[in-house]
Structure 1
Amino acid sequence: MTKPAVDLIIVGSIGIDDIETPAEKREGLLGGSVSYACAAASFFSHTGMVGVVGTDFPQEFRDTWSSMNIDLEGLQTVEGKTFSWGGKYHDNMDSRDTLFTDLGVFETFSPELPENYKEAPYLFLGNIHPALQLHVLEQVREPKFVLIDTMDLWINIAKEDLEKVISKCTMLTLNEYEAQLFTGEHSLTKAAKKLFDLGTEYVLIKKGGNGSMLFTKEDTFLLHAYPLDHFKDPTGAGDTFAGGLMGALCASGKTDKESIRQAMVYGSITASFGVEEFSLERLTKLDRDQIEIRVAEFKDMCKI
């Protein structure tokens, strides 16, 4: 069998963001789940992007992706406006308000994989409608590991489709609130047990600045977040974490529990860099050596 063109496929949204924090306001930033996830994964694996942009999409953003060696064959360009979003963060930089959402060409997005993406062994289904996630999953031939992300909107309006696609994935990731909403359980341990009933092997619950939890049917792994002195923009941190995790897991060539735990560390550390600047600005200046140095520091912090 010939080697696939890319090792990891990431599917999700691409947007142009306006972000306001207590300290600063920025407009026209490159955003979207697939932007952050592909950027993070690019430090570890050859990653293919699957998404859609409008004819207004700036060339400089394409150049940013290309400079990170992200494969863009799966990127669609459609007549119309690129998805755009505006958000304003509260003083705690944890919660935020959505100021506007304009779906643009993303509203009619139907992800189609290039033929040479279909053999990729690793797949990350970013946060899009579950029916579209399933459509992508039906196009890949024999994926080795599939991670699916979701959100409260799909839990509320498309739960049946979501349950169907989760049953075909290796690992589900969602945040603490979404896990509780999905299952009706306040206890995350009880929530994870109910989510296993859907057929997934792993449940990864994101806890923002408090790190993450990986549940298997046998045990639980707790990962703290890397402590930062300051950060500027938490937008896309969860996608950066997931993209870094999948990139590192792909680089390992493995799918066992210990390899996932190690990949979570790389995802967390990559995300810790990402929030230091707006959009992908810090990630474009990052290299693998800087990641390895911070990983070593973090592991040293966690020694008992």
Structure 2
Amino acid sequence: MSLVVIGSVAYDGVQTPYGSVDRMLGGSCTYIALSASYFTPVNIVGVVGDDFAQADVDLLTSRHIGVEGLERVPGKTFFWKGVYSDDMNDRTTLVTDLNVFADFDPKLPPSYKDAPYLFLGNIQPTLQKGVRDQMKQTRLTGGDTMNLWIDIARPALLETLKGWDFLLINDGEARMLSGETNLKKAAAVIMDMGPQILVIKRGEYGAVLFTPDYHFIAPGYLLQQVFDPTGAGDCFAGGFMGYLASQGVSAADAGKH
């Protein structure tokens, strides 16, 4: 069943111990959608500048991702650049140029508003809520956030979370949002904020799914070599949401899947 994804569509510059690239396709919306497209039809909402390559649009449409909601405006596309530590568990941001993303005011095409599944990628909480409010009725709404919004936009984030069925964040963000160091206690606090399904990502150690009734631990899949972890969390979110949409599940049954 169809899934709407909103988030950033960007270009990234990335340096890791194994090499570097400049102006590669990036953004939360991009990789959530690409991952989810292996399971279910996807439509995206985002904004790019007039420097956004047609080849990158073609990549999205080659995965049958709907781009009616991808707005192109004069200016440059959001650009991020960062460098990873030797173990690639930490990264330092070198450049964040919001460009056209700074004035992003997402508007859903009419054809998107009846979609039963919605994933709100990591953008300002007020924009996430604005998109959620444009949907007529969803069977399942999930989203992502980050330490920046927990720090500078906490009231707006808490208001936004009230309308979500599930939240995906990492362990550091869970502790920051809840004020608890113990992840089980942190999960209970966060579920009281609204989402009744919480997935806490733990990097190489896997992830933990929490509901009010149980929790489930999934180990990480070990690789011999990791070249670039950028977008790994977004791909995880896309696969998670894409599979749930493909099964047609409701919020009440999502945790069991």
TM-score range, shorter chain: over 0.9
The TM-score normalised by the length of structure 2 is 0.97
- Per-residue CA deviations over 1:260-295 (Å, capped at 9, x if unaligned) read 454xxxxxxxxxxxxxxxxxxxxxxxxxxxxxxxxx
* Conserved? CA contact 1:249–1:260, under 8 Å: no
Range that drifts further, 75-84 or 224-233: 224-233
Measure, in 1, the Cα distance between the counterparts of 2:236 and 2:124: 20
- Per-residue CA deviations over 1:67-124 (Å, capped at 9, x if unaligned) read 1111001101111010000011111011111111100000010111000100000000
The TM-score normalised by the length of structure 1 is 0.82
Q: Could you say which residue in structure 1 is the equivalent of 2:64?
A: 69
Alignment partner of 1:140 out of 131, 135, 141: 135
Instruction: Please identify which structure carries the higher strand content.
Output: 2
Measure, in 1, the Cα distance between the counterparts of 2:222 and 2:84: 20
Question: 3-state SS of the aligned residue for 2:229?
Answer: coil
Residue 101 (structure 1) aligned with residue 96 (structure 2): yes
Alignment partner of 1:249 out of 244, 248, 254: 244
Q: Could you say which residue in structure 2 is the equivalent of 1:196?
A: 191
Residue 91 (structure 1) aligned with residue 86 (structure 2): yes
* Conserved? CA contact 2:76–2:100, under 8 Å: yes
Gaps spanning 5+ residues in structure 2: where?
A: none
- Per-residue CA deviations over 1:213-261 (Å, capped at 9, x if unaligned) read 1111111110111121222110000000001111110001113676545
Question: 3-state SS of the aligned residue for 2:148?
Answer: helix
Question: 3-state SS of the aligned residue for 1:213?
Answer: strand
Indicate the structure whose relative CO is greater, using CA pairs within 8 Å and at least 6 residues apart.
2
Amino acid aligned to 1:75 = L
Shift of 1:210: 1.2
Q: Could you say which residue in structure 2 is the equivalent of 1:236?
A: 231
Shift of 1:199: 1.9
Alignment partner of 2:144 out of 144, 149, 154: 149
Count of residues paired in the alignment: 257
Task: Provide closer, same or farther for how the CA distance between residues 198 and 45 of structure 1 changes in structure 2, counting only shifts above 3 A.
Answer: same
% same residue: 44
Q: Could you say which residue in structure 1 is the equivalent of 2:126?
A: 131
- Per-residue CA deviations over 1:170-211 (Å, capped at 9, x if unaligned) read 001111111111111100101111111112211111111111
* RMSD value, Cα: 1.2
Question: 3-state SS of the aligned residue for 1:233?
Answer: coil
Measure, in 1, the Cα distance between the counterparts of 2:251 and 2:204: 26
Measure, in 2, the Cα distance between the counterparts of 1:225 and 1:239: 15
Alignment partner of 2:211 out of 216, 222, 225: 216
Q: How is 1:37-56 mapped onto 2 (pairs within 5 angstroms)? A: 37-56=32-51
Question: 3-state SS of the aligned residue for 1:179?
Answer: helix
Amino acid aligned to 1:167 = K
* Conserved? CA contact 2:139–2:251, under 8 Å: no
* Conserved? CA contact 1:21–1:88, under 8 Å: yes
- Structure 1: 4+ residue segments shifted above 2 A: 255-262
Amino acid aligned to 2:11 = I
Q: How is 1:165-184 mapped onto 2 (pairs within 5 angstroms)? A: 165-184=160-179
Gaps spanning 5+ residues in structure 1: where?
A: 1-5, 263-304
Range that drifts further, 183-192 or 253-262: 253-262
Measure, in 1, the Cα distance between the counterparts of 2:252 and 2:13: 38
Measure, in 2, the Cα distance between the counterparts of 1:257 and 1:74: 29
Measure, in 1, the Cα distance between the counterparts of 2:119 and 2:253: 19
Amino acid aligned to 1:242 = A
